[in-house]
Structure 1
């Protein structure tokens, strides 16, 4: 918790001023100076120190300087900061690769606008259709898949998405009778990126090669075959 409500007050402000005045100074040196003045060390030295005490202090300072402890610490600090930056870059690159893979897969999925055909879809097909509506069509009202606990909820959500799409003037499918996606240049790239990141921010799955996985869970509905399983679109790390 900050010592004051204003970051420009207190020790933090003093450290910032010191960093501007002495760019090569270290946090350790600033801390030592602050302790020296706060504890009134100079007054204590003037009152108590004798010549052997001063000699001992100077000898210890020379020994510490010769050891290169400060230089070694700064090298380790810089190495740790560089490692943190590289790690973040690697994670960002992996996330972008997953996003590209998801977009590539969704771009090859044809949108089904015929509600009568929804009943024959498997859980995986329902999940794909919902992802297309949410990610590529930008339908923010489509729930995230992990909120849809069973097949019946996925069906209901997909039917609602289709009905919303048919009411949308910019939807080419109902008017032209086409089940294909709009052209890439008609898709808002920033909105797509946000939706893809929502998909990628799901809890990680242990085990796997980093590809998209479908996790099967027991479904409470009494539907047919393996389609009764509740599929949740996940990513393994």
Structure 2
């Protein structure tokens, strides 16, 4: 996968590509990335990328020209148009399902804005996706893009050390993940559940699924509305509800 990020502040993002999973992905040649200061594409001599909004109002609006030219510069040699993602509080609320969808792409382009907003022609004629990471407003799109990039890259084949890690994550199955424990088995009188020490893998998997259901019901019960539960799963959920009530 290749990722281009258009931003006025490349230094905000450069560090994350040199650490942890993103660094490992590049070392394994699963990822290449490019941070682009779209101010360099401004056609005016002062490299100005924003202007006052037509009709008046507070704040400044990012102009179409620098962003259009920057996107065209990174995509003009491609036969197929890549996914061009606008980080925006008005966008689609980001989910694990969206991360899995984007992880199938070969090329992603992120546009990170600042100021009051974008010229609407950028939304209407340039981008393919608008994404929000939550119902709140950030100073700019860089932090949101960092969240999306991290969640996508970790899903690329062979990036994580354990191939089972990503499929078992919270939300990948539609449920929250079960609890985890490690050594020692008894820490200050707080003990690991006996089933995890039993060596019986069938019992362990049953416990983990039950705990995943229990945690999801207690913390994010609305997630069950989107799941197609088997008869066995429905019985398990009904039992958890009964015991909780």
Which structure dedicates a bigger proportion of its chain to helix?
Answer: 1
Question: What TM-score bracket applies, with the shorter chain setting the length?
Answer: under 0.3
Q: What is the TM-score normalised by the length of structure 1?
A: 0.19
Bigger Rg, structure 1 or 2: 1
Which structure dedicates a bigger proportion of its chain to strand?
Answer: 2
